[in-house]
Structure 1
Amino acid sequence: MSVDGEAVRLRTEADEPGWEVDPDDEWGVAVLATVGRQLRLRREAVGMRAADFAVAVGYGEDLVYKVEGGKRIPRQEYLDKADEVLSAGGLVAAAWEDVKKVRYPKKVRELGKLEGKAVEIGVYECNSIHGLLQTPEHARALMEAAQPPYSPDDVERMVAARLARQSVFERDPAPSLHFVMEEAPLRREVGGTMVWRRQLERLLEVGRLNNVTLQVMPTNTDAHPGVDGKIELLKFPDGTALGRSDGAFSGRPIADPKQLRILELRYGTIRAQALPPRESLAFIEKLLGDT
């Protein structure tokens, strides 16, 4: 197959990593089925076979069938190219507004939605750097270390989902964000020295924002209420709140005021035992300077 004498190599699943649809995600399945059906109907309306359409958009025929069947989450570039090929006047490209809402796993979408509504977020993280603070390279290195291993497609999807949650830093008005992290994860060179250095630099960038408080819990401190695991607290504009702790209430999200007070007490104690924000940033700067 050639165009103007040059061989055309269509992008296959291996070349163009895509995301399979989670069959348990009812909303996502419905959205993608609708988008896929509209793509197929428009292609058929102009009398174009799937094989010819695949060549025109530069993708493999297998990908075209999967997208049209609602089995594959199309990327924005795919929809833009399809719009052009089908002369849809922007209607196909506009489907991205719906697709982008379901392109991440359901659990991550729900978490991102809560973080997007919260006016205050408090987190104690004991074993790693919190997802809201991770660089893309750091997040990818963590996910690639998982056992059993994730597929490359799954890794890219989870990294993209984690980065999307970081839009919380761009909100206006900005929420109040509090992070307490243990010293040990800060010293772990995840992804190698350069990735680690960039992660420390990112912590310093975020820690200097006016709406962010970042604290380090030194390894040589006494026992504290966070030894049982991670704590998360989210407070919303209407005065309600949501919390979760690995070491309390079976790790389930809780909204009961009495239970929330317990988590708030534990989190407050942890913040009191950690280094103050200024000393914490100086601690990270020293780590960076020692590398």
Structure 2
Amino acid sequence: MAEVRGGGDSGDVRPELEEDLSEVSDFLKAIGKQIKLLRERAGLTQKEFAKQVGYTESLIGAVEQGKRTPQRELLEASERILDAGGLLIVTSDDIESAKAKARVRHPEWFRGYAKLEAKARELHCVSLYSIPGLLQTEAHARAVFSMSHPLLSEEVIETRVAARMGRQEILTAWPRAVFGWVIDESVLRRPLGGWEVHEEQLRHLLRLGNCRGMVIQVMPLDRTESAGTGGPFILITPKGRPQMAYIEVQTSSRLITDQEEVRIMNARYSTLRAQAHTPQESLALIEKILGDR
């Protein structure tokens, strides 16, 4: 049984670690070296330079090492203070492009599961409190991250949204994996982000539920029995590897590889599918919720 700190679909409050800049690291290191060279040529220490540009010394150090992407404001201030002759300003657009690439990457605490998910041949999810991340619209994801507590910065929100949207590429990849979701009815009746956002989300579920290889089932509120009282979970079968399970709650998550535990969760999932509405009944219920508005 492996344990991973953090989470993905419901994990909105997590430690904010360094950006994952692996795909653009060489470029950012080159920019950092230019800033360091110009700073040293001007006879300034990192501390002195940081004070003049209005940033912390640790951030300047991270930028010079290529570990952080410099904001446009920092480039403009550096250009002026270091008399760079336009050398730093011309990199602004390239920096924005680099930030966009870094933005779609995942934080360290979720990277392991995300890599498994991207290679999944089967993925089955039980969701009792939220729309599964792979099924969320961009507006819904942004609303979810915006209501996190403690509050996330706008930059972090956009980073998380882009990462979540990037994960959804698996839904259109070919050959297509086998997908199944059991979603509690209460999730479909809670209009997170307002009705406009929620309506778009429900219609998105209808479109996905009509795609081959994607099965959406709803656990109705009037059921007197449920095998899901232990909480939400995901069963995932990566290419060339045994099936695993993934669970998360609050600020903790676990990637379960013990096959006996996985077998038990598989049995729970099978029971939940039998207790839930059929796929056709589930889509009809979503349409009814839309019509009742």
Question: Normalising to structure 1: TM-score of the pair?
Answer: 0.72
Look up the match of 1:22: 17
User: Residues 40-59 of structure 1 correspond to what in structure 2 (within 5 A)?
Assistant: 40-41=32-33
Look up the match of 2:48: none
| 1:232 corresponds to 2:259 | no
Deviation for aligned residue 1:184: 0.4
Look up the match of 1:151: 153
The match for 2:66 among 67, 70, 84 is 70
For 2:137 and 2:247, locate their aligned partners in 1 and report how far apart those are by CA, in whole Å.
24
Look up the match of 1:166: 168
| Aligned residues with identical type, % of pairs | 35
Contact 1:142 1:190 (8 Å CA) reproduced: yes
For 2:215 and 2:88, locate their aligned partners in 1 and report how far apart those are by CA, in whole Å.
45
Q: CA RMSD in A?
A: 4.1
Contact 1:215 1:277 (8 Å CA) reproduced: yes
Deviation for aligned residue 1:207: 0.8
Look up the match of 1:220: 222
Contact 2:30 2:66 (8 Å CA) reproduced: no
Secondary structure class of the residue paired with 2:171:
helix
| 1:120 corresponds to 2:122 | yes
Look up the match of 2:141: 139
1:8-57 deviation digits (Å, cap 9, x = unpaired) = xxxxxxxxxxxx9824x7xx3777664322124468999xx99xxxxxxx
For 2:149 and 2:271, locate their aligned partners in 1 and report how far apart those are by CA, in whole Å.
34
User: Residues 202-213 of structure 1 correspond to what in structure 2 (within 5 A)?
Assistant: 202-213=204-215
For 1:197 and 1:190, locate their aligned partners in 2 and report how far apart those are by CA, in whole Å.
10
**289 and 134 in structure 1: CA distance in 2 versus 1, 3 angstrom threshold:** same
Return the structure number with greater relative CO, CA threshold 8 A, min gap 6.
Answer: 2
1:249-283 deviation digits (Å, cap 9, x = unpaired) = x9632112211110100011001100000111111
Most deviating of 172-181 and 100-109:
100-109
For 1:122 and 1:133, locate their aligned partners in 2 and report how far apart those are by CA, in whole Å.
12
Secondary structure class of the residue paired with 1:147:
coil
Secondary structure class of the residue paired with 1:72:
coil
Contact 2:123 2:180 (8 Å CA) reproduced: yes
Contact 1:33 1:68 (8 Å CA) reproduced: no
Gaps of at least 5 residues in structure 1 are: 1-19, 51-60, 76-81, 87-91
1:198-237 deviation digits (Å, cap 9, x = unpaired) = 0001101111110100000000002212112101100123
Deviation for aligned residue 1:111: 2.5
Gaps of at least 5 residues in structure 2 are: 1-14, 43-52, 72-86
Contact 1:229 1:246 (8 Å CA) reproduced: no
For 1:30 and 1:251, locate their aligned partners in 2 and report how far apart those are by CA, in whole Å.
24
Contact 2:24 2:102 (8 Å CA) reproduced: no
Deviation for aligned residue 1:197: 0.3
Contact 1:35 1:68 (8 Å CA) reproduced: no
Deviation for aligned residue 1:145: 1.4
| 1:38 corresponds to 2:30 | yes
Letter in 1 for 2:167: R
**268 and 251 in structure 1: CA distance in 2 versus 1, 3 angstrom threshold:** farther
Letter in 1 for 2:195: T
* Runs (4+) off by over 3 Å: 28-35, 40-46, 61-69, 82-86, 95-103
Secondary structure class of the residue paired with 2:182:
strand
For 1:282 and 1:289, locate their aligned partners in 2 and report how far apart those are by CA, in whole Å.
10
The match for 1:197 among 183, 196, 199 is 199
For 1:210 and 1:30, locate their aligned partners in 2 and report how far apart those are by CA, in whole Å.
35
